[in-house]
Amino acid sequence: MAMLKKEPRSKFYELLQQQVQNEFHASQQYVALAVWFDNADLPQLARHFYRQAVEERNHALAIVQYLIDTDHHVDIPPTGPVRNDFAEPLELVELALEQEKEVTADFRTLMKAARAEDDYQGEQFLQWFLKEQVEEVSQMSTLVNVVKRANGNMFEVETWLARESVGDDGAPEMPPVAGGAL
C-alpha cells in the first residue's frame, strides 16, 4: 500500500487541514457545554449540545474525507484546551454563538483561498459548509435570545427546546464523512 508523501500544499489545503482541528475543537467544546448542562440537570440543553458535538465531529471528518479523496495527506490534530467553568447558562450559549461565528469566518477565509487558487472543486466542496453556517449562527442566535428572555428560568428554555426543532436535521447533501456520519 503506497503512503502519501507529505508535500508542500497550497494555502487552501493548509487552511483546510487547520479547519479539521477547528472542527474537532468545536466538538470538544460542545461536549464540555453539554456536560455542564448535564451536571445542572438541564437535559434538553445537554442533549442539544451533545448533538452539536457530534455534528462538529462529522464536519471534521467530512473535511478529512475530502482531503483523502483529493490525495492529500491528513494529520489528525490535537484539539487544544476547552472552557469548562461558567457562572451562568447564558455564558455557555454566548460562547457557542461566538464559536459558530468564528467557524463562519474560517469558512469564508477558506473560500477566498480556494478562489484565489482557482480551486473550483475546493470551492464547490465548501458551498455546503457555508450554507450550514448560516443555519448554525441563526440557531445559536435564537438560543441566546431565548435564554435571555427566560430571565434565569432555565426550565422555560428546557420547555422551548423540547417543543422546537433545533439542530441538525441530517441534511442529506452533506459531503461524505470519513468512517460514516454519526
Res 180 pLDDT > 60: yes
Query: DSSP assignment, residue 178?
Result: T
The predicted pLDDT at position 169 comes to: 56
Res 171 pLDDT > 80: no
- Average pLDDT, stretch 32-52? 97
Interatomic CA distance for residues 50 and 48, integer angstroms: 6
Q: How many Cβ atoms sit within 10 Å of the Cβ of residue 181?
A: 17
* Average pLDDT of the residues of the chain: 91
Which helix (H) or strand (E) segment is 34 a member of?
helix 11-39
- Top-confidence residue, 180 or 81: 81
Res 6 pLDDT > 90: no
The predicted pLDDT at position 170 comes to: 54
Res 1 pLDDT > 60: no
- Average pLDDT, stretch 109-132? 96
The predicted pLDDT at position 181 comes to: 77
**Number of residues that make up the chain:** 182
Res 53 pLDDT > 60: yes
Q: How many helices (H) and strands (E) does the chain have?
A: 5, 0
Helix (H, G, I), strand (E, B) or coil at 168: coil
For 56-98, the pLDDT digits (tens) are 999 999 999 999 999 999 999 999 999 999 999 999 999 999 9
Q: Measuring CA to CA, how many Å separate 146 from each of 72, 94, 141, 154?
A: 43, 11, 9, 10
Distance of CA 3 to the CA centre of its chain: 29
The cell for 165 is 426543532
Which helix (H) or strand (E) segment is 12 a member of?
helix 11-39
